[in-house]
Amino acid sequence: MKTLLSLLLTLLLFAPSITTAAESADEIMKKAHLKSYYVGDDGRSIMAMLVYAKGASKPLQKTFTILKRDLEEGGRQKFFIYFQKPADIKKTTFLVHKYVDQDDYRRLYIPASDKVIPIAGSRKQDPFMGSDYSYEDISGRHFSKDQHSIVGEETITIQEKKKSVTYQTYAMESVPKEKEDKIAKIKSWIDKTTYTPIQVEFINHDGKVYKRYRSYKIQTIDGFPTIMRRVMESPLEGTRTVILLHPKKTNYNLGIPEDIFVDRSLRNPPMKYLK
């Protein structure tokens, strides 16, 4: 009887702290998601995507403009991407309507075949335009899709060319609420000051890291901390992709209208907002 009473008292004492930790984990990941994908009410950036094949010292460079507009803070969003280079994919476009409680609406237009290809929810982890990024990585995996927990606090050092930058981070672990083909678990290191995701590891069902993301060179643009260099590598494949933002062609709160994020823009891009 005494043992049972002790156990009940222990559960009562520790239950509030467990609940608080769970709420804190959700809040941390929500803030990290907002910092990564919901900066400003809308935004535009010209990006260079450098795709390194296995063993390659020189990348294949792809240049595109990305537009985004938030409909709800932390909720629905719309994205539009237009490729300028190289010549064989010029005028390729990609449209995303991001949702919270259903699969995102994704459409890819291939000008060479004049076809609009639906990207089903089951293909969200497929490579985006031959890179190490997935379709879901581009528009962002919504934080509500996973069960989050705090596993500790760690110091992360990121080597940037000839210098290194050290971050004090929350070490997080996220498990999909619904079983997925590729992702079994995600480990994230979130900067404690800005809530920027500094490093993210995607772990498969064999317990191996099959993708690793890192943030480099965080710069303030229009008052918002912005990740200027992003690297996604695939350790099992030996490939990596670097995305560089053009500092003078990255802006927020431009008044981009919602009505350009529609299917007709796939074949007739809104060039006014893409230059």
The DSSP line for 82-134 is EEEESGGGTT-EEEEEE-SSS--EEEEEETTTTEEEE--GGGTTSBSTTSSSB
Q: What is the C-alpha separation between 152 and 224, in angstroms, rounded?
A: 27
Q: Which domains does the chain have, with CATH numbers?
A: 3-273 (2.50.20.10)
CA within 13 Å, CB half, 83: 20
pLDDT number for residue 169: 96
pLDDT value of residue 162: 79
Token pair in block for residue 41: 């009410």
pLDDT, averaged per 10 consecutive residues of the chain (275 residues), comes to 45 41 79 93 97 94 97 95 96 96 95 95 93 95 95 91 90 96 97 95 98 94 94 97 96 97 97 92
Query: Is the four-CA dihedral 13, 18, 21, 27 of positive or negative sign?
Result: negative
Structure tokens given for 155 = 């110091």
Torsion angle, alpha carbons of 200, 205, 208, 211, to 10: -40
Token pair recorded at residue 115: 């076809």
Specify the pLDDT at position 159: 84
User: What integer pLDDT is reported at residue 51 of this predicted model?
Assistant: 98
Instruction: Determine the pLDDT at residue 274.
Output: 93
CA 82, 109, 232, 149: dihedral to nearest 10 degrees?
A: 110
Establish whether the linkage from the previous residue to 86 is cis, with ω within 30° of 0.
yes
DSSP-derived secondary structure letter, 142? -
- What DSSP string describes 171-238? EEEEEESS--SS-SEEEEEEETTT--EEEEEEE-TTS-EEEEEEEEEEEEETTEEEEEEEEEEETTTT
Report which of 257, 249, 250, 229 is spatially closest to residue 241, judged by C-alpha positions.
Answer: 229
pLDDT at residue number 106: 97
- CA nearest 167: which of 145, 136, 190? 190
Q: Is the pTM of this model over 0.85?
A: yes
